[in-house]
């Protein structure tokens, strides 16, 4: 499956806001703060003007997709899954994205970015309800418990947790000493960490 391997800062410049794809490293030397507050490419400076409605919807979709590190096919399938459930499609989509295991690991504070969390899960460092899970797209649910594997607790990754300031969202309970946590509730729209016009994404895929 195709995976983007280019500069992460390019993604932020494309959508015009900081996505913090590199975690804390994005707080320094950000192109948006310094010399390049415009889209990448030869015609980047000339594309700063007002976008069409379609362009605005596409940018919101790309913003969300880049944030969660998903390709177009994965993101569209997630949207289709959300659209088949009862309730508001946009809110359901946000909830499904938040419930991804890689996002849970990131939001729990065990990784500095979603990409790093995705790598941890791919390498099999975590267990969910006592079972090994190496799928970043695994969807957690209330009462699910996740934790570092016993072998991972002997690594520097686990040791470094003691130096992190962990502030998990209200729907995740974290135990830093044990290197694990529990899903105590479903995430809501207000729990999402960035303002995204999710209705624009719904309109984009509904055309």
pLDDT digits (tens, 9 = 90+) for 150-173: 998 888 888 888 777 778 999 999
Residues 6+ apart with CB under 8 A from 50: none
Q: Which domain holds residue 93?
A: 8-97+193-205
pTM score: 0.80
Q: Are 32 and 61 in the same domain?
A: yes
Distances (CA, A) of 23 to 20, 75, 151, 160: 5, 22, 25, 15
In a domain, 136, yes or no: yes
| Cβ count near 21 (within 10 Å) | 19
Distance CA 114, CA 138 (A): 14
Task: Write out pLDDT tens, residues 105-119.
Answer: 999 999 888 989 999
The CATH number that applies at residue 118 is 3.10.290.10
Q: What is the CATH number of the domain that holds 75?
A: 1.10.1050.10
Q: Which residues pair with 199 in a beta bridge?
A: none
Residue 22, Cβ neighbours under 10 Å: how many? Answer: 17
End-to-end CA distance of the chain: 26
Low-confidence ranges of the chain (pLDDT < 50): 1, 42-43
Pair (46, 67) in one structural domain: yes
The whole-number pLDDT of residue 72 equals 92
Note whether 110 and 85 are same-domain residues: no
Identify the pLDDT of residue 79: 95
- Alpha carbons 115 and 97: distance in angstroms, whole number: 14
- pLDDT for 46 equals 53
Give the pLDDT of residue 177.
86
CA 84/CA 158 separation, integer angstroms: 39
Residue 3 falls inside a structural domain? no
Identify whether 174 is part of a domain: yes
Number of domains in the chain: 2
Count Cβ atoms within 10 A of the Cβ of residue 6 and give its class: 0-12 exposed, 13-18 middle, 19 or more buried.
Answer: exposed
Q: How far apart are CA 31 and CA 36, in angstroms?
A: 5
């Amino acid at each position: 499956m195709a995976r983007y391997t280019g500069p992460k800062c390019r993604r932020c410049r494309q959508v015009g806001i900081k996505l913090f794809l590199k975690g804390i490293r994005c707080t320094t030397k950000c192109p948006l703060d310094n010399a390049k507050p415009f889209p990448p490419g030869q015609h980047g400076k000339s594309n700063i003007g007002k976008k069409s409605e379609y362009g605005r919807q596409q940018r919101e979709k790309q913003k969300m997709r880049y944030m969660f590190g998903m390709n177009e096919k994965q993101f569209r399938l997630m949207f289709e899954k959300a659209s088949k459930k009862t309730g508001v499609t946009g809110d359901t989509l946000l909830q499904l994205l938040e419930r991804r295991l890689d996002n849970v690991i990131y939001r729990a504070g065990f990784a500095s970015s979603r990409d790093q969390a995705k790598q941890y899960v791919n390498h099999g460092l975590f267990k969910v309800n006592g079972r090994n899970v190496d799928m970043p797209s695994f969807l957690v649910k209330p009462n699910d418990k996740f934790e570092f594997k016993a072998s991972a607790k002997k690594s520097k990754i686990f040791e470094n947790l003691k130096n992190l300031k962990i502030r998990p969202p209200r729907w995740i309970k974290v135990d830093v000493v044990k290197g694990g946590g529990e899903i105590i509730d479903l995430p809501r729209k207000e729990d999402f960490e960035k303002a995204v016009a999710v209705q624009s994404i719904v309109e984009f895929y509904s055309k």
